[in-house]
Structure 1
Amino acid sequence: MKLAGRCLPCVPDHEEGGLKDENIIVFMYDDIAHSPENPRPGVIINHPKGGDVYAGVPKDYTGREVTVHNFFAVLLGNKTAVSGGSGKVVDSGPNDHIFVFYSDHGGPGVLGMPTYPYLYGDDLVDVLKKKHAAGTYKSLVFYLEACESGSIFEGMLPNDINVYATTASNAEESSWGTYCPGEFPEPPPEYDTCLGDLYSVAWMEDSDVHNLRTESLKQQYKLVKDRTSIHDTFNFGSHVMQYGSLDLSAQHLFTYIGSNPANDNATFVEDNSLPLFSKAVNQRDADLVYFWQKYRKLAEGAREKNDARKELLEVMAHRSHVDNSVELIGNLIFGSENGPNVLKAIRVAGKPLVDDWSCLKSTVRAFESQCGSLAQYGMKHMRSFANICNAGIRPDAFSKVAAQACTSVPANPWSSIHKGFSA
Structure 2
Amino acid sequence: MIRYAAGALSVLALSILAVAAHGRHHLLKLPAETRRFFSAADDDSEGTRWAVLFAGSNGYWNYRHQADVCHAYQILKKGGLKDENIIVFMYDDIANNSENPRPGVIINNPHGDDVYQGVPKDYVGDTVNAENFYAVILGNKTAVKGGSGKVVDSGPNDHIFIYYTDHGGPGILGTPAGPYIYANDLNDVLKQKHAAGTYKSLVFYLEACESGSIFEGLLPEGLNIYATTAANAVENSWGTYCPGDSPSPPPEYDTCLGDLYSIAWMEDSDVHNLRTETLKQQYELVKKRTANDNGEYGSHVMQYGDVKLNTDSLYLYIGTDPANDNFTFAVDNSLLPSSQAVNQRDADLLHFWHKFRKAAEGSDRKVEAQIQLAEAVAHRAHVDNSIKLICKFLFGIEKSHEVMNFIQPTGKPLVEDWSCIKTMVRTFEARCGALSQYGMKHMRAFANICNQGVEIEAMTEASAQACTTFPSNPWSSLHRGFSA
TM-score w.r.t. the length of structure 2 is 0.86
Does residue 237 of structure 2 align to residue 175 of structure 1? yes
More helix as a share of residues:
2
Corresponding residue for residue 313 of structure 2: 252
The answer to whether the 8 A contact 1:110-1:119 is kept is yes
Moved more, 22-31 or 319-328: 22-31
Which residue of 416, 432, 438 maps to 1:355? 416
Which residue of 151, 155, 169 maps to 1:93? 155
Counterpart of 2:142 in 1: which secondary structure? helix
Q: Deviation per CA, 1:53-97: give whole Å up to 9, x if none.
A: 000111211111111111111110111111111111100010000
Does residue 295 of structure 2 align to residue 234 of structure 1? yes
Q: Deviation per CA, 1:25-48: give whole Å up to 9, x if none.
A: 111111110111111110000000
Aligned-partner Cα distance in 1 for 2:345–2:364: 28
The answer to whether the 8 A contact 1:223-1:271 is kept is no
Aligned-partner Cα distance in 2 for 1:255–1:263: 16
Counterpart of 2:441 in 1: which secondary structure? helix
Aligned-partner Cα distance in 1 for 2:481–2:472: 16
The offset of 1:416, in angstroms, is: 4.3
Aligned-partner Cα distance in 1 for 2:375–2:215: 34
The offset of 1:395, in angstroms, is: 2.4
Counterpart of 1:417 in 2: which secondary structure? helix
The answer to whether the 8 A contact 2:430-2:477 is kept is no
Q: How much is the aligned-residue C-alpha RMSD, in angstroms?
A: 1.0
Aligned-partner Cα distance in 2 for 1:166–1:142: 6
The answer to whether the 8 A contact 1:223-1:272 is kept is no
Does residue 65 of structure 2 align to residue 4 of structure 1? no
Aligned-partner Cα distance in 2 for 1:241–1:92: 27
Aligned-partner Cα distance in 2 for 1:14–1:240: 22
Aligned-partner Cα distance in 1 for 2:320–2:181: 31
Q: 2:169 is matched by which residue type in structure 1?
A: G
Count of residues in correspondence between the two structures: 422
Moved more, 301-310 or 156-165: 301-310
Corresponding residue for residue 159 of structure 1: 221
The offset of 1:267, in angstroms, is: 1.1
The offset of 1:341, in angstroms, is: 1.1
Q: 1:198 to 1:152 in 2, by over 3 A?
A: same
Corresponding residue for residue 205 of structure 1: 267
Report 1:49-198 matches (<5 A): 49-198=111-260
Q: 1:257 is matched by which residue type in structure 2?
A: I
Counterpart of 2:228 in 1: which secondary structure? strand
Q: Deviation per CA, 1:92-114: give whole Å up to 9, x if none.
A: 01000000001111010000001
Corresponding residue for residue 217 of structure 1: 279
The answer to whether the 8 A contact 2:237-2:344 is kept is yes
Q: 1:134 is matched by which residue type in structure 2?
A: A
The answer to whether the 8 A contact 1:368-1:417 is kept is no
Q: 1:415 to 1:85 in 2, by over 3 A?
A: closer
Counterpart of 2:76 in 1: which secondary structure? coil
Q: Deviation per CA, 1:3-30: give whole Å up to 9, x if none.
A: 1112420214333211111111111111
The answer to whether the 8 A contact 1:318-1:415 is kept is no
The offset of 1:415, in angstroms, is: 3.1
The offset of 1:308, in angstroms, is: 1.3
The offset of 1:303, in angstroms, is: 2.6
Q: 2:183 is matched by which residue type in structure 1?
A: G
Largest Rg, 1 or 2: 2
What is the percent sequence identity of the aligned residues?
66
Which residue of 401, 404, 415 maps to 2:462? 401
Report 1:251-400 matches (<5 A): 251-400=312-461
The answer to whether the 8 A contact 1:369-1:417 is kept is no
Q: Deviation per CA, 1:237-295: give whole Å up to 9, x if none.
A: 10100100001100000000111111111111124441221100000100000000000
Gaps in structure 2 of 5+ consecutive residues = 1-49, 56-65
Counterpart of 1:205 in 2: which secondary structure? helix
Aligned-partner Cα distance in 1 for 2:142–2:334: 47
Gaps in structure 1 of 5+ consecutive residues = none
Counterpart of 2:87 in 1: which secondary structure? strand
Q: 1:314 is matched by which residue type in structure 2?
A: E
Counterpart of 2:255 in 1: which secondary structure? coil
Aligned-partner Cα distance in 1 for 2:221–2:145: 32
Q: Deviation per CA, 1:132-156: give whole Å up to 9, x if none.
A: 0000000000000111110000000
Counterpart of 1:370 in 2: which secondary structure? helix
Aligned-partner Cα distance in 1 for 2:371–2:397: 33
Aligned-partner Cα distance in 1 for 2:476–2:387: 14
Which of 1 and 2 has higher RCO (CA within 8 Å, sep 6+)? 2
Aligned-partner Cα distance in 2 for 1:272–1:149: 27
Q: 2:480 is matched by which residue type in structure 1?
A: K
Aligned-partner Cα distance in 1 for 2:104–2:237: 27
Q: 2:186 is matched by which residue type in structure 1?
A: L
Q: 2:51 is matched by which residue type in structure 1?
A: K
Counterpart of 1:414 in 2: which secondary structure? coil
The answer to whether the 8 A contact 1:314-1:414 is kept is no
Aligned-partner Cα distance in 2 for 1:61–1:67: 9
The offset of 1:414, in angstroms, is: 2.1
Moved more, 39-48 or 2-11: 2-11
Aligned-partner Cα distance in 1 for 2:295–2:458: 40
Aligned-partner Cα distance in 1 for 2:408–2:479: 34
Q: Deviation per CA, 1:145-170: give whole Å up to 9, x if none.
A: 11111000000001110010000001
Does residue 434 of structure 2 align to residue 410 of structure 1? no
Q: 1:4 is matched by which residue type in structure 2?
A: L
The answer to whether the 8 A contact 1:359-1:394 is kept is no
Moved more, 295-304 or 35-44: 295-304
